[in-house]
Homo-oligomer: A and B are copies of this chain.
Amino acid sequence: MASNYHHGDLREALLDAALNALDEHGELPSWRALARACAVSQTAPYRHFVNFDALQVAVAAACFRRLTAAVRTATAKFDDPFERLAAGLTAYVRFGYRHPSWYELMFGRKRVLLENVEVQAASAEAYGTLVNGVAACGVVDSAAQAFSLWCAVHGLADIAASGLRSPVPGTRPADLPAAVIEMCVAHIRAQAPLLRPGKKKGA
């Protein structure tokens, strides 16, 4: 499937170029610039995406899939459900911090994205891993509690993506995420008194 036709695999090349440009330039390049980057004419991408919107949709969905993968990888290293939860939340925030422009695109409130089923599915799966993580901690209404955590972690990721100019004087920006994640885990601990971890910490 390498060089069946003229370009090779223009669709994948466009997506790659878009992802990279987001990381490097901070925003999605123009349709034409993207075509230029792949050394094709300005209208060639229309054979693979009906729209600029459609391309954005594909990019956003890809980002969500990577987020899910990142969280899963991070949680896999732990057994204790609370540790897993903390690790997952941390990975989530890290994702936003490392790929601010991806994150912005993913949660950017664009109609096309919000209404697209591919993006919805990809984001639902990411959200599902969070709900599962909370449920594993023995919380009763894990769905509702997961939402609260998501708010905190999403806010943190979004703020981190914006540069995280620490608004807390005398505090290193790097320390801030830990405090937020601690609040989250503590909140879940308080909601799930049945399942006390036997490993970490004295109390």
A158 to chain B, nearest CB (A): 6
Determine whether the beta carbon of A180 is less than 8 Å from that of B151. Answer: yes
The CA-CA distance from A165 to B123 in the complex, in Å, is 12
Q: What are 15 A-B contacts defined by CB distance under 8 Å?
A: A104-B109, A109-B162, A124-B167, A127-B167, A143-B167, A144-B176, A145-B179, A146-B168, A147-B179, A148-B179, A148-B180, A150-B159, A152-B152, A155-B155, A155-B156
- Chain multiplicity (copies): 2
Q: Give chain B residues whose Cβ lies under 8 Å from the Cβ of A107.
A: 158, 162
Determine whether the beta carbon of A154 is less than 8 Å from that of B147. Answer: no
Nearest chain-B residue to A101 (Cβ)?
B109
Q: Give chain B residues whose Cβ lies under 8 Å from the Cβ of A114.
A: 162-163, 165
CB under 8 Å from chain B, chain A span 32-48:
none
Asked whether A4 is an interface residue with its Cβ less than 8 Å from the other chain, the reply is no
A24 to chain B, nearest CB (A): 14
CB under 8 Å from chain B, chain A span 122-180:
124, 127, 143-148, 150-156, 158-159, 161-163, 165-171, 176, 179-180
The CA-CA distance from A176 to B144 in the complex, in Å, is 8
Q: Give chain B residues whose Cβ lies under 8 Å from the Cβ of A180.
A: 147-148, 151-152
Q: Give chain B residues whose Cβ lies under 8 Å from the Cβ of A147.
A: 166-168, 171, 176, 179-180
A123 to chain B, nearest CB (A): 9
Q: Give chain B residues whose Cβ lies under 8 Å from the Cβ of A152.
A: 148, 151-152, 155, 180, 183
Residues of A within 8 A of B (CB): 26, 100, 104, 107-109, 111, 114, 124, 127, 143-148, 150-156, 158-159, 161-163, 165-171, 176, 179-180, 183, 186-187, 190
The CA-CA distance from A169 to B143 in the complex, in Å, is 8
Given contacts A104-B109, A152-B152, A154-B158, 19 further A-B contacts (CB under 8 A): A100-B109, A104-B108, A114-B162, A143-B167, A147-B167, A147-B168, A147-B176, A147-B179, A148-B180, A150-B155, A151-B153, A151-B156, A151-B180, A152-B155, A152-B180, A152-B183, A154-B155, A158-B158, A186-B187
